[in-house]
Each structure stands twice: as C-alpha cells, then as structure tokens.
Amino acid sequence: MAHADIEQACRLLRGNSHSSNWLYENWWSGIPGRLVTEVPKAETHSPFNARRIFSAGEQAIFSSGFQPFLLEPGEYYFVEAERVMVHRLQQWPETSWFWMQGVENRTYPEDPQFLRFYVPTQDEDSIKFVSRLANVLDLAKVPFKLKTRLAEGEFHDQTVIWIQRKHLRVAIRAVSDSLTGSLIGPPPGSFSCNGVGITDHPSNGDSFGWKLCQSIWLSERLAGFGSLESEFHKSGLNPELPWSLSEFADSNWWESLHGI
C-alpha cells in the first residue's frame, strides 16, 4: 500500500488534466510570486592556506594540518607547486535562489550519501533566517550547502539544505532548534522530523520533488499501461517510503531519528 501522502497526490490528479508542474506547485512545493529584489551580495569565507595531498577522480583532497578535506574546482588557486590558497564562497545570489555554504569543509574520506533537508516558510525573513541558521550549523561544525527561495509565497520547501548522512542527528537538532514558526508544513512524501522534511539526495543531482511528482503523474496518466509501483520502480522510488531512493536502499537513516 502506498504512503498516505502519495495516495493524496494521486487523488488530486484524477478526473482532470492537471500537469506534473501543477502537482509540484500545488502539492509538493508552493506557487511562487514575484521575486525579491533586495538580495545580499556574494561574500567569501576567510581565505586560508592548504596543501594538496592527492586527487581522486575529479575531486581534489587537501590538508591544512588536520583532517583531510575536499574542495570543488574554483574554490582554490595554486600559490606554488602543491600549496594553494582556499577561497570558498560563503553566500551568493542567483536568479531565484540565495545560496550559502558553511565554513566547515567536507572531510575525506567522505560519506557518499547526502540528504536533503526541506525547511518550510518561516515567520521570519528568509535571508535573515538562513543567515542565522548558517551560524548555528557552523557552530555545530556541520558541513553544509543551502539555498532559499527569493520568490514570495508560502512553500513546503522554502529552504533546501544538503547534509552528509553522517551529520544527520547533529544537523536535524541544529535546524529544528532554529525554526521560528512554520507557516506551512514540510513537503508531503518527505520524512517529517521536528518540522523539517528529509529525503535522500539523488546522486545525479536531480530534483527529488520533480522526480516524485513526475512519477505520480505518469502513473495516473498511463493507468492502462503501468502502475504506481512500476513508475516508482523506474525512478528508483518507493511508494511506501517515498523519501527513500533505491540507490540507497540499505541506508534506513530515518530509523536513527526516533526519539529526537
């Protein structure tokens, strides 16, 4: 039997010609309004020196004398030989999103699985909220990247945070303690914990919400040729545990959140 949230989404599509985009906005996310125009400018974290240890595929591993860490291309420049100057962005705006990343680097070897935290619209200005949230996550020494919507409206997924699975328990406490009062709940089909929705992060970078909505939409529109189970299977989803992807089938990270 499918999860109750998935059954609700299926009912919303029956007997009408709604698109998958309609389902995404009216069920999963929210309907965007006009864009906010006053957005903080890009800033970087304080630069520091490090030394490149080795490369692993497209990733480069560095050390500043403690735990080895990874950097993305463009987050450093070579000073001489293997010595580099690290200059990571702290915050930067895009067309419809405002991005931030923490002062903590992703440690090496890293946990290959990332999770997405979905924070619904709060009763606080979104830029002020994520700036305060970023400080809390930095104090908890949790590496993170986040984005918050610059469109007006109420969203189940106002702010999206990428967290490595190994930091799950520390991060969920930090994020949930930072909430000021949600105007709406987290996305349906996500695993809800203390006002925050959590899902697996597709390793190919796809939008989890789009993947979920398109699978539901296809299952309804192709009712005579497939089923909810078959469409979810094709997308690597589980209709009973909609926050879980088959590529991480052995993870069961939500079980560790009981009692938090």
Shared domain for 18 and 55, answered yes or no, is no
| Domain end among 55, 87, 119 | 87
| Domain end among 27, 58, 87 | 87
Residue type, 6: I
| Domain end among 87, 118, 139 | 87
Shared domain for 130 and 167, answered yes or no, is yes
Burial class (CB in 10 A: 0-12, 13-18, 19+), 7: middle
Question: Which residue range is the domain that position 237 belongs to?
Answer: 4-45+88-257
Residue type, 257: L
Backbone φ and ψ for 189, nearest 5 degrees, come out as 90, -10
Shared domain for 65 and 169, answered yes or no, is no
Interaxial angle between packed helices 4-13 and 208-221, expressed in degrees from 0 to 180 and rounded to the nearest 10: 60
pLDDT of residue 168: 97
Reference 248, options 239, 257, 238; nearest CA is: 238
Specify whether the CB–CB gap between 100 and 91 falls below 8 A: yes
Shared domain for 35 and 161, answered yes or no, is yes
- Total of domains in the chain: 2
Shared domain for 69 and 111, answered yes or no, is no
The tokens of 105 are what?
A: 């680097």
**CA dihedral sign, ordered 73, 47, 107, 137:** negative
Shared domain for 53 and 31, answered yes or no, is no
Shared domain for 62 and 143, answered yes or no, is no
Shared domain for 82 and 99, answered yes or no, is no
Shared domain for 50 and 125, answered yes or no, is no
Shared domain for 74 and 102, answered yes or no, is no
Shared domain for 68 and 93, answered yes or no, is no
pLDDT in tens for each of the 260 residues of the chain?
Answer: 899 999 999 999 998 999 999 999 999 999 999 999 889 999 999 999 999 998 877 778 999 887 899 998 889 988 988 899 999 999 999 999 999 999 999 988 888 899 999 999 999 999 999 999 999 999 999 999 999 999 999 999 999 999 999 999 999 999 999 999 998 999 999 999 999 999 999 999 999 999 999 999 999 988 754 688 999 999 999 999 999 999 998 899 999 998 88
Look up tokens 């499918």; give the residue: 2
Residues 6+ away with beta carbon under 8 Å from 256: 168, 169
Shared domain for 231 and 190, answered yes or no, is yes
